[in-house]
């Protein structure tokens, strides 16, 4: 044993450098690289876990963009309905200012406003019913 130690001591760099390189190689190859998590701040994830998080974030983004598009379409539909009602009321007001209001135009304007109101009520009622049906089917599933 003393002879072995004497040989190592005499050739310390010939033994030491390969040992240090072996330890470094093991450290580099055995440790999986990690990155900060997108979804859980403060945690680290592997490359495969990061890819899963990226897919989830993209799916969430797509769902939110679809909801935003639906919301924008809803706002536009309501804006057009409001403009139509204002147009009918404005037409009646203009006719009244010109002195051209007679029972026929008053009845026609009233029918138009009543029709718009009924159509809006039917749409709102159908949306409410759809939500109830979806809630009941979700409970059964």
Same domain for 12 and 72? no
Q: Which two tokens stand for residue 94?
A: 């203009």
- Pick the closest to residue 77 from 124, 114, 131, 133 (CA basis): 124
pLDDT in tens, 55-99: 999 999 999 999 999 999 999 999 998 888 788 777 767 777 777
Same domain for 69 and 26? no
Same domain for 85 and 126? yes
d(CA 47, CA 44) in angstroms, rounded, equals 10
Q: Where does the pLDDT of residue 141 fall: very low under 50, low under 70, confident under 90, or very high at 90 and above?
A: low
Residue 72, domain extent = 63-140
In a domain, 11, yes or no: yes
The mean per-residue pLDDT over the stretch 10-28 comes to 82
In a domain, 50, yes or no: no
Same domain for 72 and 123? yes
Question: Is the model's pLDDT at 110 over the cut of 70?
Answer: yes
Q: Where does the pLDDT of residue 101 fall: very low under 50, low under 70, confident under 90, or very high at 90 and above?
A: low
In a domain, 46, yes or no: no
pTM comes to: 0.44
Please state the domain count of the chain.
Answer: 2
- Pick the closest to residue 53 from 38, 66, 43 (CA basis): 38
In a domain, 109, yes or no: yes
Same domain for 130 and 79? yes
In a domain, 37, yes or no: no
How would you class 37 by CB atoms within 10 Å of its CB: exposed for 0-12, middle for 13-18, buried for 19 or more? middle
Cβ contact 124:78 at 8 Å: no
Same domain for 127 and 73? yes
Same domain for 24 and 84? no
């Amino acid at each position: 044993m003393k002879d072995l130690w004497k040989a190592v001591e005499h050739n310390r760099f010939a033994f030491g450098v390969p040992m240090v390189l072996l330890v470094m190689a093991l450290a580099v190859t055995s440790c999986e690289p990690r990155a900060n998590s997108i979804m859980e701040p403060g945690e680290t994830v592997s490359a495969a876990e990061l890819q899963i998080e990226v897919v989830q974030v993209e799916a969430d983004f797509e769902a939110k963009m679809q909801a935003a598009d639906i919301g924008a379409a809803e706002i536009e539909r309501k804006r057009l309905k409001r403009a139509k009602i204002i147009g009918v009321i404005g037409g009646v007001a203009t006719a009244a200012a010109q002195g051209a209001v007679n029972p026929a135009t008053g009845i026609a304007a009233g029918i138009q406003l009543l029709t718009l109101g009924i159509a809006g009520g039917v749409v709102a009622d159908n949306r409410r019913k759809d939500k109830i049906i979806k809630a009941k089917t979700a409970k059964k599933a």
